[in-house]
């Protein structure tokens, strides 16, 4: 099976063209191929598929290294758009992609016939407790909610980008024990679908620093939906303006959200190599 290795700010993916390859058990394949010692190694498996919906051009399915299938992936959808353009699978530069989070629209920014960057309409965030979902609270915005984690209490703001994000504001993101606290919140019983966990240091009203523990993946160098959710959370708490530079371990994303409208994410997408999976 041919695959293409791509990444968005070091959040890396094995891309497989579902038009040419028949994948019988993508959950199992994701676990095997994402393994960094016994497989290719990646933060996710991404399938390029024909859309089942009239109003979409293609369909994207994403699988975490633990085999789970999340609703969306921001860094992957930028890679998805570049993949299609570079292989002449579309002439469009604004592509409508069917996902479990709805139709998401990457727009390719082309310079000298190269994909310089990708701006993505990530849709509207879900703010209510049932959107996340989170139990034990019933509000249309989950802001400064108390979460008991073993003998600690955290103040969280929860936002859905189709997938769940639990945002905690901290004084020093570099210094925070992400690998210790992240999994306890990911698996917390108040999250029926588990959750991604973002730790945010507000630098000023237009910059935040983000560290992330991803649902089904653990620490990653970048998380696109997480950067969107964290920006929405920062605006809801009036810590930042509507356009924010998000500084991640792998680089920077520009996120913009005007209340009651869509979230827009802009960032790079890179292709690293093509390979053949023989297992
Ligand atoms: N692990 C995430 C999916 C990948 C999201 C992230 N890699 C991104 O760029 O949005 C989840 O289970 O919701």
The domain segmentation of the chain, as residue ranges, is 2-123+267-276, 142-261
Query: Is the CB of residue 122 below 6 angstroms from any atom belonging to ligand 1?
Result: no
- The number of beta carbons lying within 10 Å of the beta carbon of residue 170 is 18
pLDDT score of 260: 74
pLDDT digits (tens, 9 = 90+) for 78-96: 999 999 999 999 999 999 9
Does 11 count as an annotated binding residue? Answer: yes
Domains 2-123+267-276 and 142-261 share a fold: yes
Report the predicted TM-score, pTM, of the whole model to 2 decimal places.
0.97
- Tell me the best of 67, 125, 195, 223 to mutate to test the pocket of ligand 1, counting ligand atoms within 8 Å of each CB and taking the most: 223
pLDDT digits (tens, 9 = 90+) for 217-237: 999 999 999 999 999 999 999
Does 81 count as an annotated binding residue? Answer: no
pLDDT score of 188: 98
Residues of the chain with pLDDT under 70: none
pLDDT score of 28: 98
Nearest atom (ligand 1) to Cα of 165: 13
- Burial letters 72-102, b for 16+ CB under 10 A, else e: bbbbbbbbbbbbbbbeeeeeeeebbbbbebe
pLDDT score of 182: 98
Does 59 count as an annotated binding residue? Answer: no
Domain 142-261 bears CATH identifier 3.10.310.10: yes
Which residues are identified as catalytic? 73, 223
Query: Is the CB of residue 99 below 6 angstroms from any atom belonging to ligand 1?
Result: no
pLDDT score of 279: 82
- Tell me the best of 9, 125, 225, 252 to mutate to test the pocket of ligand 1, counting ligand atoms within 8 Å of each CB and taking the most: 225
Distance 74 CA to ligand 1 centre (A): 7
Distance 113 CA to ligand 1 centre (A): 29
Domain 2-123+267-276: give its CATH code. Answer: 3.10.310.10
Nearest atom (ligand 1) to Cα of 64: 1
């Amino acid at each position: 099976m041919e695959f293409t290795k791509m990444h968005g700010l070091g959040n890396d993916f094995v891309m497989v063209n579902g038009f040419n390859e028949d994948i019988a058990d993508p959950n199992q394949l994701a676990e095997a191929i994402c393994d960094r010692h016994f497989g290719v190694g990646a933060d996710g498996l991404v399938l390029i598929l024909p859309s089942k919906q009239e109003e979409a051009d293609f369909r994207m399915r994403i699988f975490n290294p633990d085999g789970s299938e999340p609703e969306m992936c921001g860094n992957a959808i930028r890679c998805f758009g570049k993949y299609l353009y570079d292989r002449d699978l579309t002439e469009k530069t604004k592509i409508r992609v069917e996902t479990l989070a709805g139709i998401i629209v990457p727009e390719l920014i082309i310079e000298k016939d190269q994909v310089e960057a990708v701006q993505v309409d990530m849709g509207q965030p879900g703010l209510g407790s049932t959107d996340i979902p989170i139990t034990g609270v019933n509000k249309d915005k989950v802001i400064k909610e108390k979460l008991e984690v073993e003998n600690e209490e955290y103040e969280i703001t929860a936002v859905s980008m189709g997938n769940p994000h639990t945002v905690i504001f901290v004084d020093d993101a570099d210094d925070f024990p992400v690998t210790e606290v992240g999994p306890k919140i990911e698996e917390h019983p108040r999250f029926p679908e588990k959750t991604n966990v973002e730790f945010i240091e507000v630098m000023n009203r237009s910059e935040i620093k983000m560290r992330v523990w991803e649902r089904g993946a653990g620490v990653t160098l970048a998380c696109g939906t997480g950067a969107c959710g964290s920006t929405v959370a920062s605006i809801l708490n009036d810590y930042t303006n509507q356009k924010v530079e998000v500084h991640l371990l792998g680089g920077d994303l520009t996120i913009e959200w005007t209340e009651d409208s869509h979230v827009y994410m802009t960032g790079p997408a890179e292709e690293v190599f093509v390979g053949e999976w023989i297992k």
